[in-house]
């Protein structure tokens, strides 16, 4: 990779590979078949229902194999019935949910109130580090009890005005799913049965012909993974596949097949704020000022992405519209480093710049370009690219006591529409991916979670202001977009929902 500075901007010179295609017309994937092949950017490491908020899991099984009580209506920012038919709040800390009758799990077990109670208990079991618990339920005290076969009461320690939205993240699995251990064979109530998972090769789902609702058109789906965007794009172009996620901007060159959509992800670097020299706010500000975010737009990041000012996007309740993007000011960055060095801050200490392969299209190139920008103002930087399990070791608590100063590239998805699903997980002292331990911020995050309406928004706005102006704990980058390549035989328009799920029932044949 070669980077050049041009008129004060950093431009990435990308090398491109050309694949010869005999015809400009895509072939029909699995011709004369009601099956589809879907290309993912990476392979799942688990298929447990409690991991469905992770895109590599949720895009396969959420609302396909396992379903939720409540479904998010992204278009209207509201909630819809799914396995629950209705619900009501009976007191500030109690909700009653009425369940759909006549539904069975794929293993024959009945879907009832006891199954809901079991799923919540399994998900909240600390023996499992389920992302559903650590990202969504941590910080909340929730108990469920069966009133009768098809009625569940949820009791919370403090008011949770958005409990139905929270429960849209709880994937209901068979009561025969073991507690205390992960499963690789998800069993739900959805329109598709889990058929097989061949490690390193594919995952297969088959249509559930006894599904409680409408029968979908697709009878079988095969999920494969390709790390190279150009390869995934070519598979759809030649008809080897029907749909591919995470096509890089330089490969999205066919407007007929390539569809751009907001994916609810925000990319950023998380800073280890307790580790010198990043424990000095001047150094953290210098990092932000050293990065020319706008130079990435239209080069390695889509020009339709937005500069981020915080980790939640404009679609999320609690987004602070008053925050402004960091300017690119390398001279100011150098001045701040000089001031910190004069005060004895070890600004020459090597900083780990940690990425993860295929986090998003061109993520490795973004890390490399960022390293050059940081070195240009005087930072000493070492790049590391980690595979998923090692990256998670760095991202999640407990943090190593002797860790080095680290800038961790992350991409956080909040497609549930409320700041609660970001701020505790990322910034509360007890949050699993939080670097912070600020009592005033902790109290504000907890207070905001019990409020509603304008009071809730004002409290979350103040929390995000503290994080990004007073503490400067992160390097916000972009509110991202994705490109999806879709075979012309498939009638489908991607949306923000596809950041976390892809409902096969929404795919139609032309």
Q: What is the DSSP string of 265-305?
A: EEEEEEE-TTSTTTTSHHHHHHHHHH--HHHHBTTTB-TT-
Q: What pLDDT is stored for residue 4 in this prediction? A: 32
Q: What pLDDT is stored for residue 3 in this prediction? A: 31
Topology of domain 262-482 in CATH is Dipeptide-binding Protein; domain 3 (3.10.105)
Residues with Cβ within 8 Å of residue 204, at least 6 apart in sequence: 195, 196, 197, 220, 221, 222, 223
Respond yes or no on whether the N-terminal peptide bond of residue 234 is cis (omega within 30° of 0). no
**Helices and strands, number each (H, E), in the chain:** 13, 23
The bridge status of strand 202-207 relative to strand 2-6 is: unpaired
How sure is the predictor about 25, in pLDDT bands with cuts at 50, 70 and 90?
A: very low
Give the separation between CA 341 and CA 333, rounded to whole angstroms. Answer: 12
Residue 386 has pLDDT above 50, yes or no: yes
Residue 16 has pLDDT above 60, yes or no: no
Residue 13 has pLDDT above 60, yes or no: no
Q: How far is CA 342 from the centre of its chain?
A: 41
Respond yes or no on whether the N-terminal peptide bond of residue 398 is cis (omega within 30° of 0). yes
Q: How far is CA 244 from the centre of its chain?
A: 17
Characterise 32 by phi-psi region: left (phi > 0), alpha (psi -120 to 50), beta (else): left
Mean pLDDT of 178-203: 97
pTM across the whole model: 0.83
pLDDT in tens, 397-432: 999 989 999 999 999 988 788 999 999 999 999 999
Within the chain, which residue ranges are assigned CATH 3.40.190.10?
34-65+190-257+487-509
> What percentage of the chain has pLDDT greater than the value 90?
85
Residue 135 has pLDDT above 80, yes or no: yes
Which range is least confidently modeled, 35-39, 41-45, 144-148, 406-410?
A: 41-45
Q: Whole-number mean pLDDT of the chain? A: 92
Mean pLDDT of 111-138: 96
Mean pLDDT of 448-473: 96
Within the chain, which residue ranges are assigned CATH 3.90.76.10?
66-181
Give the separation between CA 130 and CA 462, rounded to whole angstroms. Answer: 29
Topology of domain 66-181 in CATH is Dipeptide-binding Protein; domain 1 (3.90.76)
Q: What pLDDT is stored for residue 416 in this prediction? A: 80
pLDDT top residue among 357 and 439: 439
Mean pLDDT of 116-139: 95
Give the separation between CA 215 and CA 206, rounded to whole angstroms. Answer: 12
Q: What pLDDT is stored for residue 33 in this prediction? A: 65
240 in Cβ contact with 29 (< 8 Å): yes
Which range is least confidently modeled, 20-29, 45-54, 397-406, 481-490?
A: 20-29
How sure is the predictor about 190, in pLDDT bands with cuts at 50, 70 and 90?
A: very high
Distances (CA, A) of 390 to 68, 357, 386, 408: 30, 11, 6, 12
CA dihedral 419, 425, 431, 437 (to 10 degrees): -50
Q: What pLDDT is stored for residue 29 in this prediction? A: 53
CATH number of 34-65+190-257+487-509: 3.40.190.10
Q: What pLDDT is stored for residue 7 in this prediction? A: 28
Mean pLDDT of 140-156: 97
Q: What pLDDT is stored for residue 417 in this prediction? A: 82
Residue 14 has pLDDT above 90, yes or no: no
How sure is the predictor about 277, in pLDDT bands with cuts at 50, 70 and 90?
A: very high
Distances (CA, A) of 77 to 97, 165, 465, 497, 499: 20, 10, 24, 11, 15
Which range is least confidently modeled, 143-152, 175-184, 232-241, 410-419?
A: 410-419
Residue 183 has pLDDT above 50, yes or no: yes
């Amino acid at each position: 990779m070669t980077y050049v500075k041009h008129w004060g901007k950093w431009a990435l010179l990308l090398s491109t590979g050309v694949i010869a295609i005999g015809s400009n017309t895509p072939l029909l994937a699995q011709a004369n078949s009601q099956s589809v092949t879907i290309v993912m950017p990476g392979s799942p490491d688990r298929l447990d229902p409690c991991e469905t908020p992770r895109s590599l899991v949720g895009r396969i099984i959420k609302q396909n194999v396992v379903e939720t009580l409540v479904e998010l209506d992204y278009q209207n920012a509201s909630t819809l019935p799914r396995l629950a038919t209705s619900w009501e709040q009976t007191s500030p800390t109690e909700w009653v949910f009425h369940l759909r009758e006549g539904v069975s799990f794929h293993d024959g077990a009945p879907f009832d109130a006891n199954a809901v109670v079991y799923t919540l208990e399994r998900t909240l079991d600390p023996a499992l580090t389920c992302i559903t618990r650590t990202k969504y339920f941590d910080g909340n005290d929730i108990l469920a009890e069966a009133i009768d076969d098809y009625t569940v009461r949820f009791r919370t320690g403090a008011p949770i005005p958005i409990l139905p939205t929270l429960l849209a993240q709880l994937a209901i699995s068979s009561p025969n799913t073991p507690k205390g251990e992960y499963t690789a064979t998800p069993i739900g109530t959805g329109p598709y049965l889990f058929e097989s998972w061949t490690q390193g090769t594919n995952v297969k789902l088959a249509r559930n012909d006894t599904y409680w609702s409408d029968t979908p058109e697709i009878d079988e789906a095969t999920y494969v993974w390709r790390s190279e965007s150009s390869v995934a794009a070519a598979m759809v172009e030649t008809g080897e596949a029907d749909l591919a996620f995470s096509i890089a901007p330089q490969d999205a060159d066919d407007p007929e097949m390539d569809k751009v959509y907001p994916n609810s992800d925000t990319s950023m670097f998380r800073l280890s704020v307790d580790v010198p020299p990043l424990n000095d706010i001047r150094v953290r500000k210098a990092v932000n000022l050293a990065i020319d975010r706008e130079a990435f737009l239209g080069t390695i990041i889509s020009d339709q992405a937005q500069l981020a000012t915080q980790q939640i996007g404009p679609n999320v309740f609690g987004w602070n519209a008053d925050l402004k993007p960091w300017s690119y000011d390398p001279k100011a960055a150098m001045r701040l480093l000089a001031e910190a060095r004069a005060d004895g801050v070890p600004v020459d200490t090597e900083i780990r710049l940690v990425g993860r392969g295929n986090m998003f299209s061109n993520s490795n190139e973004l890390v490399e370009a960022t390293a050059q920008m940081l070195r240009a103002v005087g930072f000493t930087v070492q790049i590391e690219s980690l595979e998923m399990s090692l990256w998670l070791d760095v991202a999640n608590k407990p943090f190593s006591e002797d860790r080095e100063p680290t800038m961790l590239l992350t991409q956080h998805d909040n497609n549930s529409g409320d700041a609660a699903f970001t701020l505790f997980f990322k910034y509360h002292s007890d949050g699993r991916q939080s670097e912070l331990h600020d009592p005033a911020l902790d109290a504000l995050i907890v207070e905001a979670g019990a409020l509603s309406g304008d009071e809730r928004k004002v409290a979350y706005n103040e929390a995000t202001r503290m994080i990004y102006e007073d503490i400067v704990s992160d390097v916000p980058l972009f509110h991202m977009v994705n490109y999806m390549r879709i075979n012309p035989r498939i009638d489908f328009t991607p949306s923000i929902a596809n950041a976390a799920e892809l409902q096969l029932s929404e795919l139609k044949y032309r």
